[in-house]
Amino acid sequence: MPFEISSVPFIAGLALVGCAGSVALLMPGHRSEHALRWYTAGMVTLGVVLLGYSTLAPPRPLAAQVACDWAIILNLACVLAGALRFSERHHCPWRAVAIITGTAGVALTIAATAAPQQLYRFWVFAGFQVITSILIVRVFIGGDWQRDGLELWGGPRWVMAILFACHAVFHVWHGLALGAPSPEVAGLGAKAETIHRTAVIEFVTLASVFAWGVAAMVGQKASATLSSLARRDALTALPNRRAFMAVFEGHCRPKDSQAGCVLAAIDIDDFKAINDAYGHDTGDRVLTSLGQQLQDRMREEDVIARTGGDEFLCLFTSTDEVGATTRLQQLIHGVAPVQLANGETLRPSLSVGIARAPDDGMDFDTLYRIADRRLYQAKTSGKGCVAGAANAPSTSYRPNQSASAWT
C-alpha cells in the first residue's frame, strides 16, 4: 500500500497503543504503578484519537483537527504528571494535567475560530508542545531522583531529558514550517506532506524511545530499592549492621591512628518484660518510636543503626568519650513516652556502653566487645545509665523498671 498522508495518524495511533501496552506490562506489583498509569493513559487516549482521526476522509473537519492537537498535548501533560509521580515529587498530577490541557483546549479553540487559515493554531499547538516538553525535561534533570539510584548522566534519565529537549526543538521548527505564511518566511521551503511525514517519524521515535526509557528506569529504580532494603532494618528503617559496618570502616580505619570516634551499644531495658506484658506489637511500636527518636537526635555526621533485637549501635565521629557520654545521657533523659494502641503511654529506659577509638582499639570487633561489656556493667549497675572507661556508670536517670509500672 503506498504511503499516503492520510495513513500518518493511523501509523502513529498503532505505535502509541503498542507502546502503551508495553508500559502497562510493567505495572503489576510495582511501587511506581501510579506513574505508569499516567503514561499508559496518555498514550492510549492519544492512540485511540489518532486511530479514529485516521478513519475520516480528507479534508478532515476543523473540530477533528483541533481535537487531535489537544489529544497530543494531553499525552505530553500525562507524561509530565507521570514523571512527577515517578520522581515522587510532592506535586498534584491532576493539577498539572488540568492546567495544561484546559488552557490548551481554550487556546486551540480560540485560535481555530479566529484564524481559519490555521496560522495561529499551528503556533499555539507548537507552543504548548515546546512548553510542556521543557517542563518534562526539567523534571528529568532534577535532583529528587538521586535517592532511588537514578543517576542523570549515562543513565535512562539522560536519554529521556535529551529526547524531550529534541522534541521541543523539533516543534519550534514544526510551528515555523506549518505556521509560516510562506516557505520563504520559514526559510525551509518544505512541503506540507514532507513536514507531516517527518512529524510522524519523530513522534513514533519519541513514543518508542520513551517506552524503552520507562522500562529502563523502572528496572533501575527496582534495583536501587532492593539495594536500599538490603541495607535497612525492615521495622525501624534505620541502617542495619551491614550498612553500619560500611560507615564504621570509612571513619575508623585501622591504619588511621588519629581516628577519633566513639562506638555506643544501646539496649532497651527490660524489653522482654515489655513484650511479655503488652505483646510483640507493642514491642515493635517501642522499637520504632525509639529508633525515630535516636535518629532525630543524632548529628548529621553521626550514625545510628539497629543491629538486631532491642540493640542499637551508634557511631559518634569527631568527639571524645566525655562528649559522647554527655550527649548519650541527654538522650537517655529525653526519651519520650511511647503511645500505645490502647491509649496508655509507656516510657522505656536505655542502657549504654561505649568504647572509643583509638584508646580502646581500632577494629570493630574489639570496640564492640568492649562496648558490649560496658553495656553489661550499665545493666548490672541499675540500668538507665551510660558506662565507659572514663566514668563509672552514670545512674542519674532511673525510671521504673517494671513493665507494669510503665504507664
Write out the DSSP string of 80-100: HHHHHHHTT-S--HHHHHHHH
pLDDT at residue 398 greater than cutoff 60: no
Q: Tens of pLDDT along 47-62?
A: 888 888 888 877 788 8
Long-range contacts, stretch 341-346, CB < 8 angstroms, 24+ apart: 341/281, 341/282, 341/285, 344/407, 345/407, 346/274, 346/278, 346/282, 346/286, 346/406, 346/407
44, part of any domain: yes
Three-class HEC string of 271-305:
HHHHHHHHCHHHHHHHHHHHHHHHHHCCCCCCEEE
pLDDT of residue 239: 85
Kindly indicate the confidence band of residue 115, based on its pLDDT and cuts at 50, 70 and 90: low
Kindly indicate the confidence band of residue 407, based on its pLDDT and cuts at 50, 70 and 90: very low
113, part of any domain: yes
pLDDT of residue 32: 62
Residue 230, Cβ density class (10 Å: 0-12 exposed, 13-18 middle, ≥19 buried): exposed
* Gap between the Cα atoms of 39 and 20, Å rounded: 7
* Shared-domain flag, residues 44 and 179: yes
* Domain boundary residue, one of 208, 230, 252: 230
CA 318 to each of CA 160, 211, 259, 294, 322: distance values in angstroms, whole numbers, following the listed order = 43, 49, 8, 18, 12
379, part of any domain: yes
* Shared-domain flag, residues 135 and 273: no
pLDDT of residue 352: 92
Q: Tens of pLDDT along 265-322?
A: 999 998 988 888 888 888 888 988 888 888 888 887 788 888 888 899 998 887 788 8
* Shared-domain flag, residues 336 and 245: yes
pLDDT at residue 391 greater than cutoff 80: no
Amino acid at 40: T
pLDDT at residue 74 greater than cutoff 90: yes
* Shared-domain flag, residues 226 and 303: no
pLDDT of residue 132: 92
Closest CA to 46 of 191, 254, 210, 258: 210
* Shared-domain flag, residues 226 and 300: no
H-helix or E-strand spanning residue 404:
none
pLDDT at residue 75 greater than cutoff 70: yes
Kindly indicate the confidence band of residue 153, based on its pLDDT and cuts at 50, 70 and 90: low
pLDDT of residue 266: 92
pLDDT at residue 336 greater than cutoff 70: yes
* Shared-domain flag, residues 295 and 201: no
The residue range of the domain holding 9 is: 5-230
Number of compact structural domains in the chain = 2
pLDDT at residue 181 greater than cutoff 60: no
Q: Tens of pLDDT along 348-380?
A: 889 999 998 888 887 888 888 999 999 999 988
399, part of any domain: yes
* Shared-domain flag, residues 50 and 101: yes
CB atoms within 10 A of CB 295: 17
User: Helix, strand or coil for residue 60?
Assistant: coil
CB atoms within 10 A of CB 83: 29
pLDDT at residue 193 greater than cutoff 70: no
Residues shown for the chain: 407
CATH of the domain at 12: 1.20.1070
* Domain boundary residue, one of 174, 206, 230: 230
Q: DSSP assignment, residue 148?
A: G
pLDDT of residue 178: 65
Return the percentage of the chain with pLDDT > 70, whole number.
77
236, part of any domain: no
Supply the mean pLDDT for the chain: 78
* Gap between the Cα atoms of 86 and 333, Å rounded: 42
Residue 53 C-alpha cell reads as 482521526
Rg value, the chain, Cα: 31
pLDDT of residue 50: 85
235, part of any domain: no
